[in-house]
Amino acid sequence: MTDAQIRPLIDIDGSAAALTSKAGMLLEQARWAAQIFQRYDRGSTLSIAEAVARVAHGKAAEFAERTVAETGFGVAAHKRLKNELSSLPLVEHYRSHDFVNPAVNEAQKIVSIPRPAGVIFALAPSTNPIATVYFKILSALMTRNAIIVSPHPAAAETSLEAIRCLARAAEAAGAPPAAVQGVTEPSLPLIEQFMRSEKTDVILATGGSAMVRAAYASGNPAIGVGPGNAPVFVDASADLTAAARHIVESKSFDNSVLCTNESVLITLPQAEAGLLREMKKAGAHLCSEAETAALRRLLFHERGFNVETLGRDADWIAGQAGIKVPPKTRILVTPITLIGHNEPLSREKLCPVLSLYLARNKAQALTQARQLLRFGGAGHSAAIHSRDQQTVLDYAAAVEVYRVAVNAPCSQGAAGFATHLAPSFTIGTGFYGRSSIGENIGPQHLVSWTEVAWNRDSNEVLDLQALTRLHHPGPLPEAPSDGVPGKTGAEGRAPPPAAPNHRGNSHRDDSLREEIRRIVAEELRAAMKGRSHGRT
């Protein structure tokens, strides 16, 4: 894919008309790609996804290093792992899912035909930029959707290179041109244009609460996720050594930028001493009252969380707070006596600082865990370490979340990498969190199904072999570009025809399509002219 096909116009001003044109060009190309992609059969679709996943996996370490250098936070080795898990293992997890062929329920005489969403507009955060880019692009490719990804400005350079890399791999493997695109100069006004456009079929939003709310307010279908603030409860029946290890590993993983990380540890008097002893062995520093007060002042101000501490390591944060900690300290533990608005340390903390609350008994522990989530993180995640299965069920029923990691690190467990939950860095918060979906988001949420139902009283017998076959004509044949007879492929491909607007055509849309055709044709002619003079 050429850079002209990947990037929007960047030499125009920020006026409303210019932003509309800028968004419209990418969306028109994406709509064309989406319609062509729906012609592909399952084998071709899987082949494309696998090829892109291999490229993504091979670049995981490089992009991890570049992300840390660009954003200034996180741990490169952990980001590499997240990137790798969001590539080949993701495709392997969904290999048995058929998002292309009809599904037949013979007993109920219902045939379900998969219908890809079409054009996906996706947002990527700064905390998990490459893993999210990988995850969303591969989810789109596995379901024959076109996707436009808008990276977070703080991680835009590396994210855009990853988008371009995967776009080239997708087209090389046979995907339609413009099936994967990126927004090179993301801004709030431009993002709003994409969100509100009638050419956007669904918004896949991962980011702050304000951005997710904007996605839901756009008037287009949206799949959004909310913030986390996960409680973790450890009772006296738990394997305290394993619990301590899991909690410290989870809270220090990528310096706690995953929204599934533990925020407040709740335990009981019977478990407290043994648990804290094991946590110290695992690399935790238990703060004094004065140290806790210093961290409270550092991490929170009148506007909320101090983003300067986001994803920083424990030593750096301790130094900024004037606290001396032992070498190789992995997390800082701050004892608190309240959970709620009067205690900022009971809020979400995307850094390796874990608050500790000592409950009097199990009933109070469950009440406080529930209260914590009402203070923030409703619908998201929780964790428990216990060998009493009744306690596990009581806890899960009490906390208003849609995933509970049991005897596992919450960061990796709730995201599906230390449990058998669906692997995802886009975590649905459901009704509790004011989101449309409560489970871990995956490619299955980018497909709807047309159900063909026969009369239940009919004696008609279904031809199962016939009903599972759909005609998939495959990619469009190559065609020579105007003025370049005999050339095909990347050099000679004609600009993509404007796809019909399924929500109604207008003179304005026709004019925009004509302008897009003209711009694309001019860029291609200029590119080919440059090649003829030896330029690359």
Q: Which amino acid is at 342?
A: N
Q: Which amino acid is at 156?
A: A
Q: Is 401 left (phi over 0), alpha (psi -120 to 50) or beta?
A: beta
The set of residues, in sequence order, having a beta carbon less than 8 Å from that of 397 and lying 6+ positions away, is: none
Measure the CA–CA gap between 114 and 101, rounded to whole angstroms.
7
The set of residues, in sequence order, having a beta carbon less than 8 Å from that of 301 and lying 6+ positions away, is: none
Rounded to the nearest 5°, which phi and psi values hold at 171? -70, -40
Rounded to the nearest 5°, which phi and psi values hold at 404? -130, 120
Tokens 């002219």 sit on residue: 529
CA dist 137 to 147, 230, 327, 419, 484, Å? 7, 28, 40, 23, 33
For 18-32, give the secondary structure using H, E and C. Answer: HHHHHHHHHHHHHHH
Tokens encoding 367: 């009440």
Beta-ladder partners of 354: 333
Identify the CA nearest to 181 among candidates 154, 206, 151, 217: 151
CA dist 311 to 51, 197, 353, Å? 32, 34, 10
Q: How open is the CA angle 342-344-349, to the nearest 5 degrees? A: 155
Task: Give the chain's length.
Answer: 536
259 catalytic residue (yes or no): yes
CA dist 412 to 114, 335, 406, Å? 31, 24, 12
The conformation of residue 496, written as its DSSP 8-state character, comes to P
Q: How many CB atoms lie within 10 A of CB 154?
A: 18
Measure the CA–CA gap between 520 and 482, rounded to whole angstroms.
12
Measure the CA–CA gap between 286 and 253, rounded to whole angstroms.
18
The conformation of residue 483, written as its DSSP 8-state character, comes to T
Measure the CA–CA gap between 321 and 263, rounded to whole angstroms.
19
Q: Name the residues annotated as catalytic.
A: 259
